[in-house]
Amino acid sequence: MKPTTISEFHGAQSPEDRAICDLLRSEIDIGLPNAESKIWHGHPVWFLAGNPIVGYSKLKGCIRLMFWSGADFGEPSLKPGTGKFKDASVRYTATEEIDAEDLKRWLTKGQNIQWDYKNIYKRKGRLERLI
């Protein structure tokens, strides 16, 4: 059964992964106080004005934190995705790997550097820079 809430998503994780998710959620909620958070495509995602900013997912052996516009952050710790999108991510296997200062900086950049994913279907897959 797919989770319908972030709490359900966390509850379905192993204790180690749940601790990572709980820490990420707490830091994201603090760093993006005006964001809407919800389960989107099966994963926790935070949105500003309907545009996805950050989310995380369970991969085999880790939790992946992804920023939709992260490839333009200029952050060596964030690895760009493959393909035409502007995403970048980092993978965690323990809470100790999460650098709070990095995460705060990335969340600030997520607010200030955005590509318009909200309207990607209207533009037939073409991205436009919002901020």
Instruction: Copy the structure tokens of residue 31.
Output: 């760093």
- Cα–Cα nearest to 53, from 64, 41, 63, 65: 65
d(CA 47, CA 1): 24
Helix (H, G, I), strand (E, B) or coil at 20: helix
- Provide the b/e sequence for 97-108 (b: ≥16 CB within 10 Å): ebeeeebeebbe
Q: What does the pLDDT read at residue 88?
A: 97
β-pair partners for 69 = none
Residue 73 CB contacts under 8 Å (≥ 6 apart), including other chains: 67, 88, 106, 109, 110, 113
Residue for token pair 């309907």: 50
Domains and CATH numbers, the chain: 6-112 (3.90.1150.200)
pLDDT tens-digit series, residues 67-118: 999 999 999 999 999 877 899 999 999 999 999 999 999 999 999 988 676 7
pTM for this prediction = 0.91
Q: What does the pLDDT read at residue 116?
A: 72
pLDDT tens-digit series, residues 6-49: 999 999 999 999 999 999 999 999 999 999 999 999 999 999 99
